[in-house]
Structures are given as C-alpha cells and as structure tokens.
C-alpha cells in the first residue's frame, strides 16, 4: 500500500542533530526562543501554582501558539532537573507531528483506503515505540494520540520503534472522542479492540477505511470511545493468561486487518 510521503515525520540528519532537537529546555526565555524558531514540543510542564509575570507570559504564549501544557507539582520538576527552571520545563520533539485532517483528505484523494491506529492512554515509551514499529510494517498511514496522557516521543521511543517513527506520521489531537466522530463522518469505520465483547476480530469486517483503537494495559479503552466506536472486537485467546501486552495485541489486531484485506483482494481478482 502506497503512503503519502509528504506527511511523514522528518528524520534528523544525524544523532547529534536528533539529540539537539530533543533537548530539554528550562525557563521562559529558552522556551520563547524555541517557539520563535518554529520548534514542536513533545511536552511542556509548568509548576502548579506558579505566580507572577513569568507564569502569565508563558501561559499566554503557549495558548497563543496552541501548544498543550501540563500543570505539575514542583517536586516533579525537581526530579527532572536540579537547575533553576523558573517553574518551566519543556521537551522539544524530535519529530514533526502530522495533521490528521490533511492526511485523511490526501489518502482519499489518492484513492487509498485509510488505515489508522488510535492509542488511548498508552503512556509506556517502549510499548509506544514497539506499536509504531508494527503499525508502520503493516501499512498504517498514521498513529493518533491525545495531547495529554500519551507516551513521550523521545529517543528511547524512536530506538524501540527501530526508526519507524521517522516513517509514519504521529498525529496529536485534543480530544479522541471528537476525533472518532470526525473520522466516522469522513467514512472511516472505527473499531475498538477490547475484551468487553464476545465478537472475535475475524467476525468484524476490517477491509473498509478503518481506525483501530487500542487502550492501555491498565485501564483499557475509555467508555466514551467504546460507545463512540462503530464496533468492538476482541482478540481470540485460548490460554489461561487473560491479557496481552498492548504492543503484542496491536500487532495481532493489525495483522487481522492485513489478512482480511489480502483475502478480499484475492477474491476480487478471482471474480474480475
């Protein structure tokens, strides 16, 4: 399946450049300079209860540039750095995030069948990297994550993905529920992968434009997303262990998508 390369994340020129782009910034002035330089941020942390002109300036700047941030306890910032952070710590993303609306429009314009993966509350960096590696191998066009409550995209995530994060767009959205509704209106079937159903994955039609939702191992997929989905499927299991690692489960679910599409294509060729 061909992919619209124009929306792929940009790879760093070398390891030194990648490290520089993934640098940690502390204080208002470095953050302002990075924003002015057009950098994208994986995470911006502001000390909860921070008062004064600095706090007002940075919040106004972030809101103006539509950059998400989190309010955290002072203790968390102290664990990250011992330097004078002024209540502000930010991490520059090593990737350029994709625009989901543009990607979907481009896929349909090219006559391709969108294949998307949404991750709800998957916060473990290694799981995230492994999932993205599998997703890229199985022809997923984009991985969708929430602005808050998702794994940090850093060098460890890129390493675990075996570099796949440089070849697949990651799209951050404010609301997964809102995004699900938009995808459905665009003609994309949304299927949640959860144990909260009796319907096996092979019983669900996955050959249409599709978005698969995977949840964290701790909390699974949120009820709001389950209700908003077109269908819910489960992975067939016969062993005594009741659950799978989320990256393994994602691989199995995506393989089922590829398997069904391959069978569907073979049958179409026979009847043609």
pLDDT tens digits for 185-208?
999 999 999 999 999 999 999 999
pTM score: 0.81
SS3 86: coil
pLDDT tens digits for 65-103?
888 888 999 999 999 988 888 889 999 888 889 999 999
What's the rounded Cα separation, in Å, for the pair 214 and 144? 10
pLDDT tens digits for 30-50?
888 888 888 888 889 999 988
β-strand pairing of 41-47 with 88-92: antiparallel
Average pLDDT over residues 226-232: 97
Report the candidate in 184, 230, 189, 229 with the shortest Cα–Cα distance to residue 211: 189
What's the rounded Cα separation, in Å, for the pair 234 and 216? 15
Burial class (CB in 10 A: 0-12, 13-18, 19+), 25: buried
- Joined tokens for residue 31: 């953050």
SS3 115: strand
Show the domains of the chain with their CATH numbers: 14-92 (3.30.1330.30), 100-271 (3.40.1280.10)
CA-to-CA dists, residue 122 to 4, 118, 252, angstroms: 26, 10, 17
Burial class (CB in 10 A: 0-12, 13-18, 19+), 184: middle
201 close to 253: Cβ distance less than 8 angstroms: yes
DSSP calls for 121-138: S---HHHHHHHHHHHHHT
């Amino acid at each position: 399946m061909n992919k619209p390369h124009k929306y792929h994340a940009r790879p760093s020129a070398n390891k030194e450049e990648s490290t520089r782009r993934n640098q940690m910034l502390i204080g208002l002035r470095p953050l302002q300079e990075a924003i002015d330089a057009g950098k994208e941020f994986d995470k911006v942390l502001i000390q909860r209860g921070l008062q004064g002109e600095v706090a007002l300036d940075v919040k106004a700047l972030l809101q103006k540039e539509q950059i998400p941030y989190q309010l955290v306890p002072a203790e968390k910032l102290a664990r990250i750095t011992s330097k004078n952070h002024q209540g502000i710590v930010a991490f520059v993303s090593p990737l350029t995030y994709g625009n989901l609306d543009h990607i979907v429009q481009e896929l349909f314009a090219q006559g391709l069948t969108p294949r998307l993966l949404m991750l709800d509350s998957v916060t473990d960096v290694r799981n995230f990297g492994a999932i993205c590696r599998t997703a890229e191998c199985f022809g997923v066009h984009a991985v969708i994550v929430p602005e808050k409550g998702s794994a940090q995209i850093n060098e460890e995530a890129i390493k675990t993905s075996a570099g796949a994060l440089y070849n697949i767009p990651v799209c951050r959205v404010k609301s997964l529920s809102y995004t699900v509704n938009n995808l459905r209106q665009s003609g994309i079937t949304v299927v949640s992968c959860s144990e909260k159903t009796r319907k096996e994955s092979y019983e669900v039609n996955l050959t249409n434009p599709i978005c698969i939702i995977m949840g964290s191992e701790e909390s699974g997929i949120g009820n709001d997303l389950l209700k908003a989905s077109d269908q819910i499927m489960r992975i067939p299991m016969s062993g005594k262990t009741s659950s799978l690692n989320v990256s393994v489960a994602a691989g199995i679910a995506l393989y089922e998508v590829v398997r069904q599409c391959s069978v569907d294509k073979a049958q179409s060729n026979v009847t043609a």
